[in-house]
Structure 1
Amino acid sequence: MAKTKKRIFALFLGVLVLAAHAGTVWADTYTVQPGDTFWLLSRRYGIPMENIIKANNASPSTVLYVGQVIKLPRKDDIIHTVQKGETFWILSQRYGIPLDDILKANGAGYSTTLYAGQNVIIPGAGRTRIVHTVKKGDTLYLISRQYGISLEELIKVNNVNQSTTLYPGQVLLIPIKDRKSDSYSENNVKGDNDSKPSVTYIHHTVKPGEDFWNLSIKYGIPMYELLKVNNMSETDILYDGQVLKIPIHHIPVKSTPGPQYGELLDWWSEAQYVWPIGRNAVLIDFYTGKTWNVRRTLGANHADVEPLTYQDTITMKSLWGNQWSWQIRPVIVLVDGRKLAASASAMPHGIQYIADNGFNGHFDVHFLNSTRHSDGLVNEEHQRAVKIAGGR
């Protein structure tokens, strides 16, 4: 009888241990304190607010209460939205992360079932890859161009082929390129920190109808600089066959503290050459991750920018509470595969070049050390937002 009681007690103790283990959350956790919000936590721990929200399968309007325990993904974690038929094992194979690590990060077990739409933490995947959610009109080729990677690498990483049809909402993995070695590496924050911007020169033979303005657009060089290197002025007339000197700026890639941040580039010596007038880009709202397509249409002291389409304007307006505002938000500029730290306001003003986009004018995008057009002074609020987007 005594032995039977001991066995029952041991069995009961084992059940308690298993129950406790089953309830363990292996991801980093945080107990909510008075006044905490998702935004404050994202700023405090340097984690994108969207990632914290997704990791807890919450929404931006979710109210936190004191004593609540939430998950805090790490800076290099990716939050994956589960698609129909996916399992933890499939995700481990896709991201190249050990199955046990993914299970621990999500407080899950081998028998845990995933459901479509659920958000799952993929620990450490952000060191080597970022996630692209397919939008209407996307193709493998366009996506490879957007991120500055080869089509072959994009196909290989996602186990697809050139004839694969993409659908909106589909998730693709984008390998992060180590531009220093021109290869794909696990160290996504490495840049050419020891290198400085440099300038080389080529020569251009003037053709009929060309002027300094359209040549500045063609080569991505400010017109005043083009005039200066050729010892000419705006009143000088170009003639057919004339040879001009064209400066070409080489801007090394800079390190960032993590994959969610952009390169902190000086406007005057770096950023204006990486994003020249006439070049399209994607703006990413730093706090929400929402994106919209834009074009830099003008701007000398900072970038004057316009949404490409009416839908891009709608997306942009939603970020500012569905009204136009001078309020400043940190953004990431995705241009030619590079992510730049920037800051944007949302008030239409001045000259407009793109018609039928529902935006009457342009809006301002600032970079490190850029200034206002009105008085040539630095806007400190813009500079703070630029540094947030750069992880500083």
Structure 2
Amino acid sequence: MRLRGLKHTIFTAALASSLFFSSGALPAQAQPAIQKYTVAAGDTLWLLSQRYGTTVEELKKLNSLTGTDLTPGQQLFLPVSLEAESISYTVQKGDTLFLIANRTGTGIESIKKASNLSSDALYPGQILRIPVAPSAYTAYVVKSGDSLWSIAREKQASVEMLKSINKLSDDNILAGQILLLPGASAAFPPEQEENAVDNTAENTAAVTLYRVKTGDTLAQIAAWFGTTVEAIYQTNQLHSDTLMPGQPLYIPKGRTAVKVSGPIGVKKEQYGEFLPWEWARWIYNPGAVATVIDWQTGKKFNIRHLGGSSHADSEPLTAADTAVMASLYPQGWSWSTRPVLLQLGSRLLAASIAGMPHSVESIKDNNFNGHFDLYFYNSRSHNTNQIQPEHQANVLAAAGLEAREANESAAQISARYDK
């Protein structure tokens, strides 16, 4: 094994430099540490700060970020609280054990065991313990002065093995960073635990379309169709176990997830994709985080889908997002409507919003008292169950379509997917 001549540098950041590590062993009491994390779809700095007990500014500082935009697959460092080889996680509204397990690459049963849970039920604000080391591995907290070379020498491993196990692209490590060290029976590299997504080729013949009915739960639907909750979650790219009447779900015909792209609408160049409400809600499902782009000004703000069976009740994600939205209504909040584009990953959907905070809310610190209405084509009012002409016109403007074109497209989309 050749270790000499390797470049090894330990980097310190604002947070890391404030940590004191007298030993690489993990003490019984909680200690600050740094965990590498891969951004998932729907993640925002605000959500990560709430889950891991930090702030947006700390995350930006630690990761040398100048803005708040994140990209799925992006690597971040998270300041975490580490105790007995597990980190602290605060449950957010819409979280489930399955979602948390998939985000963290940990098994559901491992989280339940570490958190002393007897059931799968969670509540917002609940503190969970997320194990950082799979079976046959141990966790090591990098000390100031450590390098991959020195750790490899001390632990009788190789630098390349440590890089592979920890998915490192170079030799740089951070003071306080949690590394996995292999035990005698460890795999090389470790595989994600039992909740890994089954990335099968797209096969819509392997799924059945089901429209949610009032009172349905994922557990009931899974039992009816002989599949699993996990498979339904993965197949439909859900962000919450909250279901809304009329919500479309693709139900796998087996017990593993099927990769489906879902409904595809009409997309004109320089306009938003046209999808009527009954299909747009498959993409923008409850708990999903998206970016609103105002059609007239180009101003952007982030939102989260709260719920709603007739249209998408949504909330600005942070106080900063509320401030941007408020700038679109200089005379004060009102029911006035505006055409918008809704960005979710690579999808840019034509939609419409109304600027009046009202009724229930789930985000308490965004300076927005309630939620606002977001409409797609053929969305309806909750109160009257009527299609709203102003919202319809806004969606058409954002999609670049005439009403006749939109109605024909809506019929074609339903004929193609409603099977």
User: What's the TM-score once normalised by structure 2's chain length?
Assistant: 0.39
User: What's the TM-score once normalised by structure 1's chain length?
Assistant: 0.42
Structure with larger Rg: 1
